[in-house]
Structure 1
């Protein structure tokens, strides 16, 4: 973590630091003043703050919006409970310290966990490393994803919701509904995917914890070793299908999203970064699922198509909201291009033919 990752607390997220100090003095063992606070750069859906105390740094997380069907307090308790379960299971996360559902302290429920120092990489091309170092860091990410999927779902405290096959069916139905509601133009590939995906869901009913947004940027590496010391951004975690999670993890190979890193155009031989097939092989080697470890992944193109379709639906939502607000920016046009590109990629994976 470097200074470039931190900023003063943004106006829309400011809170009464004196009230927080008083609360921590009562509830956090070994708390020492003075307390100073900075905000981590990144998405604002669940803003994060670095709390500096003498001899100790901690992370405060709160939510801008609750999870669907939950109150803000329930969402924070869910997040905190998951982190405690992950810590007990030995997955690399900051040690959870306390959860506060009293909105009078900072205006919204929050939780605290220990800050884990290390390196984060915003660019998946890992500039400044040699080929062996890049390969080792990607292997560590594949091993970490396999470790997430190895955890018994019942140990997470998250609702099972029917398991992996139900997750795929529910997600596809929801994404199709969202796309139809936000459609601004007709894209032939998307229209065909709306029919194809629900009809061809694989029957390999694997069920696991899903991180939902695992990418290099959400990992903290040891200061000098290709070893992951913390996994960040568990906001989208749920019980679902491990191969859908892996496909989402592989999106940098397939998609260039405005403001996010991409591996499109990367020279994998020169850089040492594994291409998608080699990265998948690394995941399979680390997998705790015997069928995957021994035989590889069946129906991989389906899972990739699902993940690409998911990106297209998200991009369509951004385009629809931008058009409704009268936004005609270059970024909005870029998302429109992303939507068409990934839709064609997805359809080419399962049938073929551009639109």
Structure 2
């Protein structure tokens, strides 16, 4: 999490203090004070300073009306964290969920404050080469541990649909893309149009789905959503569970390993992506493990080999990224998001779509090659 500062929107701290002391007396003592973590979290996140010096973290829904009933679901975050807290998966312990909006305006939950390191740059500069490798190793081993937890063993069997994750994702993104493509630009009065190769990619994905699997997935598993031990190269906490559900483990794997898709010499990577500082660091810093090493460490714990389907997973994840940038472009076209940064982010849709197409073609070649060498029955 980022640095803390003053609370940006008013919160009734007296009401919060009364609630916490009443409902979690083992943890909380007056006076309680709040600071807010920096921008970047869709659910406002606060440092709770206890009267006895202990620290906690509060996550709450944003104030005001929400566009989606399923967005900002802090209740789901609490549920998955509570379910996983007695498993080998390193998660912050949760102490209370409050669904009563009268306390501070929206539902919230409280979890422990995990003191450690968060690495924004996925190349992990400023550590030794050996630690860099171990930091990445711990990340993918932690993901394998998560994917190895049977949902029904922690009462999460109803946490999402039981199958067909990618089939459902194809349907979802087809509808989203159609709506975004039809958005009329406020100045040109023309629709912003389709993403390059979008329909070809979605048809290919539907015709070449990987073997269906269903595990607990984090939904945004990446290096900067992991808390590392203050001095040791190991994960001690996974944060930001807002997008968690039941789904295909390849989606989490591709999300974590997407940085390696930016530096693959076997595909044509758009210059605006490959030139990013983090990607240059990933190519040049010693100790960065290879994707083969990473997938091997994952397989050792998860018990299955994701390697044959990783280019499918990269293609799909990059397509999804391009569609997200497409949405930003649509909002900019309507002048709902009018900043220069919104325009620049919307323009990223072109490079991400082209890179997704590169990985789609790469996976297609691999599939065709495997068919040629498979013994005929």
Q: Shared fold by TM > 0.5?
A: yes
Q: Does the CA contact (< 8 Å) of 1:153 and 1:208 recur in 2?
A: yes
Tell me the alpha carbon deviations over residues 8-30 of structure 1, each in whole angstroms, 9 at most, x when there is no partner.
Answer: 1113xx21111111111211123
Structure 2 contact 84–91 (Cα < 8 Å) conserved:
yes
Equivalent residue for 1:96, pick from 94, 97, 110: 94
Q: Which runs of 5+ in 2 are unaligned?
A: 182-191, 263-269, 363-377
Structure 2 residue aligned with 1:215: 222
User: What displacement does 1:70 show?
Assistant: 5.2
Distance in 2 separating the partners of 1:66 and 1:79: 17
Question: What is the CA deviation profile of residues 255-309 of structure 1, one whole-angstrom value per residue up to 9, with x for unaligned ones?
Answer: 6999xx8742235464322243433333223x322x32xxx52222111111111
The Cα shift of 1:71 comes to 9.5
Retained in 2: the 8 A contact 1:119–1:223? Answer: yes
Deviation track 1:229-250 (CA, whole Å, cap 9, x = no partner) reads 1110000000000112101222
- When residues 267 and 28 of structure 1 are mapped into structure 2, their CA distance, relative to the original with a 3 A threshold, is closer
1:163 equivalent in structure 2: 162
Residue matched to 1:226 = 233
| Contact 2:160/2:245, CA 8 A, preserved across alignment | no
**How many residues matched?**
337
Check 1:177–1:124 CA distance in 2 against 1; reply closer, same or farther (3 A cut): same
Per the alignment, residue 138 of structure 1 pairs with 136
> Which residue is 1:288 aligned to?
302
SS in 2 for 1:55: coil
In the alignment, which residue of structure 2 is the partner of 1:40?
37
Using the alignment, how far apart are the partners of 1:133 and 1:281 within structure 2? 18
Partner of 2:251: 244
SS for the counterpart of 1:347 is helix
- Cα deviation, residue 82, structure 1: 1.3
CA distance in 2, matches of 1:281, 1:62: 38
Closer/same/farther in 2, CA of residues 161 and 115 from structure 1, 3 Å limit: closer
Structure 2 Cα separation of the partners of residues 333 and 227 of structure 1: 38
Structure showing greater radius of gyration is 2
User: How far is the alpha carbon of 1:47 from its aligned partner?
Assistant: 1.2
SS in 1 for 2:86: helix
- Contact 1:84–1:96, Cα closer than 8 Å, also in 2: yes
- Contact 1:221–1:227, Cα closer than 8 Å, also in 2: yes
Quote how far apart the aligned CAs of 1:174 are. Answer: 0.3
Asked if the contact 1:76/1:110 (under 8 Å) is kept, the reply is yes
Q: How does 1:9-88 map to 2 (within 5 A)?
A: 9-11=7-9, 14-30=10-26, 31-53=28-50, 54-64=52-62, 69=69, 75-88=73-86
Q: Distance in 1 between matches of 2:67 and 2:84?
A: 20
Q: CA deviation at 1:188?
A: 3.2
- 1:278 corresponds to which of 293, 302, 319: 293
Q: Deviations over 1:51-84 (max 9, x none)?
A: 0111311111112277955598xx4333222111
